[in-house]
C-alpha cells in the first residue's frame, strides 16, 4: 500500500509539472488572467475537497491533493477569460459531485474535470466557446472584449484552418487556454508515457481511432490535412493525455485500454464530423467511463479466475491429499486478504499487481 501511495504521488507530481508548464504558456499568451483562472480552480477544488472529505469523516491527506491536478486540467480546458465565478462553481462541481459523491479518490467513476466541463457546457455554453485571440491580454476583473470562435469551430464547419504549422505547434491560435499548445502537449505526452504516468493503451487507442477515421473519412479536403487538423483541434490531444488516458479511470491492461481509447477516438470523431460539435471528445470520454469501469471489473475477474486456476493446478499435482490440504490452508489466508483489500480499496489491488504494460 505504501508503495502504491508513493507511486500515486509521483504520478500526480509528474502530471502537475506538465500542467504547470501548460499554465505558464497560457500566461504567455493570455496574461495574468489565465493564471488567476487556474488559481481560482485550484482554490475552489481544494476547498471543496477538504470540506467534502471532512463531511465523509475522513482526513484530508497528501494523497487527496490529486484534486489540484483535476483543477488545473479544468482550468486549461476553459477560455482564459472565463468568468471566475463560473470557474469556481465548476471546480466545486468537479470535486464534490463528480468525485466525492461517488466515493472519492479510491472510487473514481468520471474524470472530475471532464464532468465539470460538460456541466459548464450545459449552462454557459456561449461563454465556454468564446475565446480571446492569442496575445490579447485581459485584466483580472476586466470584461473581455472581441471574443472569437475557436479555430476548432472553423475547422469543424469548413474543414480548413488558416494557421501555418509553426503557429499550430506553438499554440498560436484561438482555443482553450491550455489545450492548443500542441508541441508542449506532445512533449508532455511523451514524458508521461515514458514515466508510465498515463495509460499508454488508452492514449494510443484514442490517437489510433482518430487518425484511422480521419484518414478513412476525411473532414478536410485532403486526407493529410484531415489527420493533421483533427489531432490538433477539438482538444483531442489534450483530452487523450489528461482525461482518456487517466490511470484512475482507464483499464489497466494495454489491450483493454487500447480498445477503450480507440472507441472514444472513433465516436468523438464521428460526432465532430456529423454534427460539428466542438470538443466532442470530452462528453464522449465521459459517456465511455462505464465501459472503462466494465473493462476494469472484467480484468479483475480474469485475474481471480486465473489465480484460482493456478491454485487448483498446483494443488492437483501428484501430491498426497494431506499435503495438498496443508498447502491450501497455507495459501487461503493470503487470498482472503487480497480479496478483502480489493473490496476495500480498488486501487490497492491494481497497485500491488505487476504492471501489465511491462
Q: Which residues bind other proteins (CB under 8 A)?
A: 55, 83, 85-86, 89, 97, 101, 119, 122-124
Cell triple for 178: 491550455
Smallest separation, CB 111 to other proteins (Å)? 17
Query: CB-wise, 55 or 157, nearer to other proteins?
Result: 55
Q: Which is nearer to other proteins, 26 or 86 (CB)?
A: 86
At closest approach, how far in Å is the CB of 147 from other proteins?
A: 18
Nearer to other proteins, 23 or 83 (CB): 83
Q: What is the DSSP letter of 148?
A: B
Q: By C-beta, is 98 or 211 nearer to other proteins?
A: 98
271-296 burial, b for 16+ CB within 10 Å, e for fewer? bbbeebbbbbbbbbbbebbeebbebb
CB of 127 to other proteins, least distance (A): 11
> Which CB atom, from 122 or from 320, has the smaller least distance to other proteins?
122
Determine the Cα–Cα distance for residues 284 and 264; give it in Å rounded to an integer: 6
- Which burial class, exposed, middle or buried, applies to 323 when counting CB atoms under 10 A from its CB (0-12, 13-18, 19+)? exposed
Q: What's the rounded Cα separation, in Å, for the pair 96 and 71? A: 12
String of b and e for 204-228 (b: at least 16 CB within 10 Å)?
bbbbebbbebbeeebbbeeeebbbb
Least Å distance, CB 123 to other proteins, is 4
- Specify whether the CB–CB gap between 23 and 38 falls below 8 A: yes
Count of helix runs (H) and strand runs (E) in the chain = 17, 0
Residue among 35 and 120 whose Cβ is closer to other proteins: 120
Minimal distance, residue 2 CB to other proteins, in Å: 33
CB of 306 to other proteins, least distance (A): 38
CB 23 within 8 A of CB 72: yes
Q: Cell numbers for 241, please give them.
A: 493525455
Amino acid at each position: 500500500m505504501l508503495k502504491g501511495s508513493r507511486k500515486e504521488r509521483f504520478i500526480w507530481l509528474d502530471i502537475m509539472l506538465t500542467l504547470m508548464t501548460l499554465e505558464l504558456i497560457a500566461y504567455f499568451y493570455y496574461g495574468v488572467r489565465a493564471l488567476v483562472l487556474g488559481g481560482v480552480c485550484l482554490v475552489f477544488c481544494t476547498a471543496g475537497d477538504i470540506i467534502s472529505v471532512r463531511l465523509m469523516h475522513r482526513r484530508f491527506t497528501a494523497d487527496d491533493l490529486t484534486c489540484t491536478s483535476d483543477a488545473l486540467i479544468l482550468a486549461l480546458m476553459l477560455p482564459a477569460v472565463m468568468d471566475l465565478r463560473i470557474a469556481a462553481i465548476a471546480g466545486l462541481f468537479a470535486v464534490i459531485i463528480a468525485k466525492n459523491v461517488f466515493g472519492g479518490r479510491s472510487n473514481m467513476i468520471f474524470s472530475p474535470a471532464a464532468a465539470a466541463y460538460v456541466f459548464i457546457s450545459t449552462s454557459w455554453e456561449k461563454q465556454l466557446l468564446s475565446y480571446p485571440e492569442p496575445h490579447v491580454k485581459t485584466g483580472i476583473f476586466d470584461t473581455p472584449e472581441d471574443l472569437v470562435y475557436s479555430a476548432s469551430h472553423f475547422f469543424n464547419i469548413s474543414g480548413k484552418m488558416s494557421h501555418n504549422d509553426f503557429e499550430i505547434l506553438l499554440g498560436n491560435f484561438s482555443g482553450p487556454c491550455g489545450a492548443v499548445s500542441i508541441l508542449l502537449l506532445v512533449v508532455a505526452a511523451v514524458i508521461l508515457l515514458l514515466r508510465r504516468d498515463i495509460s499508454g493503451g488508452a492514449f494510443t487507442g484514442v490517437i489510433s481511432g482518430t487518425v484511422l477515421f480521419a484518414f478513412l473519412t476525411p473532414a478536410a479536403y485532403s486526407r493529410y490535412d484531415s489527420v493533421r487538423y483533427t489531432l490538433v483541434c477539438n482538444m483531442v490531444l489534450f483530452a487523450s493525455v489528461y482525461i482518456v488516458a487517466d490511470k484512475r479511470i482507464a483499464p489497466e491492461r494495454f489491450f483493454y485500454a487500447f480498445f477503450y481509447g480507440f472507441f472514444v477516438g472513433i465516436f468523438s470523431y464521428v460526432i465532430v464530423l456529423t454534427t460539428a460539435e466542438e470538443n466532442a471528445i470530452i462528453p464522449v470520454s465521459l459517456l465511455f467511463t462505464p465501459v472503462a469501469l466494465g473493462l476494469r471489473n472484467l480484468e479483475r475477474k480474469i485475474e481471480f479466475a486465473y489465480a484460482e486456476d493456478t491454485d487448483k493446478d498446483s494443488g492437483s499435482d501428484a501430491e498426497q491429499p494431506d499435503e495438498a490440504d496443508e498447502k491450501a490452508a497455507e495459501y487461503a489466508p493470503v487470498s482472503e486478504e487480497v480479496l478483502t483489500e480489493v473490496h476495500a480499496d480498488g486501487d490497492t489491488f491494481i497497485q500491488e499487481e505487476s504492471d501489465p504494460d511491462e
